[in-house]
């Protein structure tokens, strides 16, 4: 692709707090928070899985529960990284701006993953984070995690796993959906975007975003999707091109 100059969907608004904005969770209330988080989609916020009450008492900064509207930005590339964000529900894209103004989506984060781990080290966000749909996150000050991770071996282990997951994702992103012909890229992307609850269904994104993920133009992505639908490997479930039924997963996985 000879870099298309179009810019991605506008993210005009900053962080927007939803119905339950800025819920402060600290000390005694923290247990409530943990209980909530353990209840929330599977592993979300596992970071704090085994902290004890004393640990929570030592937290002197607020942990906020935020609802990020679709298209809103969690933080900008190069911005000061004060907090990390555990994704509870929804999807976050990590975007890097190229020198020529193009945007490249380097990774997606979903429930249980953490955005902004940079807050633990350099203090500068390496990429922009934007919600792809309405998304719930917990905003945790980096200092909180840094100090707790010294004390709690299991938090320490969870951080390792988060980092490892990020590296794995990044490598897979390159090897799976940014390698080979257009058809393979789109097919791999589809397989990765299956709903955890129902693997026979995918929720996709704007063709522009899908292009920024695969390194293709939006037109090529659209054509490939149409071709897959025509061949019967997938079947549209709506008329906006966002949901598809996967009819033949094995055929999609072919090379």
Interacting residues toward DNA by CB under 7 A:
1-4, 9, 181-183, 206-208, 215-223, 225-226, 236, 239-241
CA dihedral for 170, 216, 15, 239, sign (positive or negative) = negative
Q: Tell me how many residues contact its own copies (CB under 8 A).
A: 44
Nearer to DNA, 148 or 202 (CB): 202
Euclidean distance between CA atoms 233 and 120, whole angstroms: 43
| CA proximity to 73, closest of 97, 46, 37 | 97
- 50 belongs to the binding site for its own copies (CB under 8 A): no
Shortest CB 172 distance to DNA, Å: 19
- Using a 10 angstrom Cβ sphere, with 0-12 exposed, 13-18 middle and 19 or more buried, the burial of residue 76 is middle
Shortest CB 227 distance to its own copies, Å: 16
Nearer to its own copies, 36 or 126 (CB): 126
195 binds, among DNA, its own copies, none (CB under 5 to 8 A by kind): none
Nearer to DNA, 9 or 161 (CB): 9
- 160 belongs to the binding site for its own copies (CB under 8 A): yes
Euclidean distance between CA atoms 234 and 245, whole angstroms: 6
Euclidean distance between CA atoms 220 and 216, whole angstroms: 6
Among the listed residues 106, 131, 216, 234, the single contact to its own copies using CB under 8 A: 106
Pairing of strands 234-236, 243-246: antiparallel
| CA proximity to 139, closest of 238, 37, 55 | 37
- 159 belongs to the binding site for its own copies (CB under 8 A): yes
Shortest CB 3 distance to its own copies, Å: 5
183 binds, among DNA, its own copies, none (CB under 5 to 8 A by kind): DNA
Euclidean distance between CA atoms 207 and 222, whole angstroms: 7
Query: Residue 79 in contact with residue 122, Cβ under 8 Å?
Result: no
Shortest CB 107 distance to DNA, Å: 20
| CA proximity to 116, closest of 74, 70, 153 | 74
Adjacent-strand bridge partners of 124 = 80
Helix, strand, or coil (residue 199): coil
Shortest CB 25 distance to its own copies, Å: 24
- 133 belongs to the binding site for its own copies (CB under 8 A): no
Among the listed residues 9, 38, 61, 178, the single contact to its own copies using CB under 8 A: 178
Output Rg (C-alpha) for the chain, integer angstroms: 19
Which residues sit at the interface with its own copies, rule CB under 8 A? 1-3, 94, 96, 98-100, 102, 104, 106-107, 117-118, 120-122, 126-127, 149-150, 153, 156-157, 159-161, 163-164, 166-168, 170-171, 173-175, 178-181, 215, 253, 255
């Amino acid at each position: 692709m000879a870099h298309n100059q179009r810019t991605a969907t506008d993210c005009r608004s900053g962080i927007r707090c939803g119905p339950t904005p800025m819920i402060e969770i600290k000390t005694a209330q923290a247990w409530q928070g943990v209980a909530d988080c353990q209840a929330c989609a599977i592993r979300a916020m596992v970071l704090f899985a085994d902290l004890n009450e004393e640990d929570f008492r030592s937290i002197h900064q607020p942990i906020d529960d935020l609802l990020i509207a679709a298209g809103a930005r969690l933080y900008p590339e190069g911005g000061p990284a004060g907090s990390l964000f555990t994704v509870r529900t929804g999807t976050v894209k990590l975007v890097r701006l190229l020198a020529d103004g193009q945007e490249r989506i380097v990774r997606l984060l979903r429930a249980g993953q953490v955005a902004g781990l940079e807050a633990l080290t350099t203090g500068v966000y390496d990429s922009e984070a934007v919600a792809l749909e309405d998304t719930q996150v917990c905003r945790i000050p980096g200092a909180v995690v840094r100090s707790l991770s010294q004390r709690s071996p299991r938090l320490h282990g969870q951080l390792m796993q988060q980092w490892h997951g990020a590296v794995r994702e990044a490598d897979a992103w390159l090897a799976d959906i940014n390698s080979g012909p257009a058809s393979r890229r789109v097919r791999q992307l589809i397989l990765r975007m299956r709903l955890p609850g129902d693997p026979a269904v995918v929720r996709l994104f704007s063709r522009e975003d899908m292009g920024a993920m695969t390194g293709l133009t939006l037109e090529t992505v659209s054509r490939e999707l149409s071709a897959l639908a025509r061949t019967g490997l997938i079947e549209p479930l709506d008329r906006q091109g966002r949901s598809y039924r996967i009819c033949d997963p094995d055929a999609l996985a072919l090379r």
